[in-house]
Amino acid sequence: MDAITALLIIAVVYAIGDFVSQKTKAIFSMLFVSGIIFMVAFWFGVPKTLFEDAAIVKLSLALIPTLMVHMGTLMRLRDLREEWKTVIIALSAIVFASIALFLIGSPIIGREFAVPAAGPISGGVVATLIMSEAAKAKGLETVLVFLTLLLVLQNFVGLPISSICLSREGRRLRDVFRTEGILKGDLSQKSLTNTDHDERKWRFIPETPKELQTPFILIMKTMLVGWLAVMVSRLLGGVIDKFVMALIFGIVFYEIGFLEPKILTKANSEGFTLFALLVPIFMNLNKATPSMVISLIVPIALSFAVAVVGIAISSVILSKVFRYSWEMSLAIGVCCLFGFPGTFIVSQEVANAVGETPAEKEFVLTKILPKMLVSGFTTVTIASVFLAGFLVKLL
């Protein structure tokens, strides 16, 4: 398949996913709908090399640090300091999910499935690779297929739960915004759009002149910071993941004044960057053949069910402790099932779906986005790797 045709197919699927998401008020996420379409399409003859044919795979992977820097310009340090509760909820969720899989899942589906299942369910690609290497070393070929399917299908479990919970939370926040009056709304809007430069206490770099804030200059600045983050991560031996480092650098370089708020949005590049960034999420779907899904459907379904029960118990309990709504707490807890960029995209979808004015959308987005991003990175990028390293000893 030629590249332009492959790109068009991908764009059509994304558009259908977006359409369904808008019509269902984000109950069915764009990621969920698009993922289902891609998987079924591969079953019915769409080339499994679709994403490679589109010649966008390398670009999508290279753009992740750039988008992470952009994410940093959406978040303020004051917001991050307030998210310690989110970190505790996220960590507790994967711990409870793992305990539930070990204690409840092992007698039902067998320890050889229950223990490694905690890898992909608690995090994603890296955790799955750790568990897969251990399974391969022991000659557990069926477990390898099982882990691949869990990784491929976990979005279909986590995203709908998160989308439904965030939709309920988003409507509640929208009503709070409307009820508490114009004055608070104005203050919130000012804060959320990051236009109050006085809040950047570290600022020592003067603002780039408006006439020089062109798309190419803004993109260059964003990529430069992303490149620096990757280089520093390598120098540290990968102790801090390069994507986490890019987010940190985005926050720091925004605070010191080098980066503008919402920098890729200002550069009219956010949409295309997201277009490319979704590719790594859907690439693995070409491995989920009908026969594989059917043969392992029972252990897969039970693994997800048991894990979600563990996550739900932990999230609901901590929602009472930290005075979060149970919807927000559960959405935070299930972030381990999809991570970034799903955390970012589903937050945007919900904000756009429930908000009827730009101010309402901004208010909802800023209330849910920091929590979702922090939870995703806490589980997928950091905690899941340590958890998988511990669980391989039990395999």
Please provide residue 201's backbone torsions phi and psi, each rounded to the nearest 5 degrees.
-70, -20
pLDDT given for residue 12 in this prediction: 96
pLDDT, tens digit, for every residue of 32-90? Answer: 888 889 989 999 999 999 999 998 888 888 888 898 888 888 766 666 577 889 989 99
Backbone angles phi, psi at 209, to 5 degrees: -55, 145
The dihedral built from the CA positions of residue 333, 347, 268 and 221, taken in this order, carries a sign that is negative
Q: What is the dihedral of CA 170, 176, 179, 185, to 10 degrees?
A: -90
- pLDDT for 245 equals 84
| Mean per-residue pLDDT over the chain, rounded | 84
The span from the CA of 56 to the CA of 279, in Å, is 8
Task: Provide the pLDDT for residue 385.
Answer: 64
pLDDT score recorded for residue 382: 63
Report the pLDDT value the prediction gives residue 280, as an integer from 0 to 100.
74
Q: What is the pLDDT of residue 75?
A: 67
Give pTM, 2 decimals: 0.68
Q: What pLDDT shows up at residue 154?
A: 81
**Which pLDDT does position 305 carry in this prediction?**
94
- Whether the CB-CB separation of 308 and 157 falls below 8 Å is answered with yes
Average pLDDT per block of 10 residues along the chain, 395 residues long: 92 93 74 86 91 88 87 71 87 92 89 84 71 76 79 82 93 89 45 48 82 94 96 87 82 90 89 83 78 85 94 96 95 87 85 90 90 83 69 69
pLDDT of residue 334: 93
Tens of pLDDT, residues 237-291: 877 778 778 888 998 999 898 999 889 999 988 888 888 888 877 876 787 778 8
Give CA separation, 46 vs 1, 252, 316, in Å.
10, 44, 42
* Distance, CA of 280 to CA of 275 (rounded, Å): 11
Class for the domain spanning 3-394: mainly alpha
Question: Which of 176, 127, 171 has the alpha carbon at shortest distance from 147?
Answer: 127
Q: Residue 52 contacts by C-beta under 8 Å, 6 or more apart in sequence?
A: none
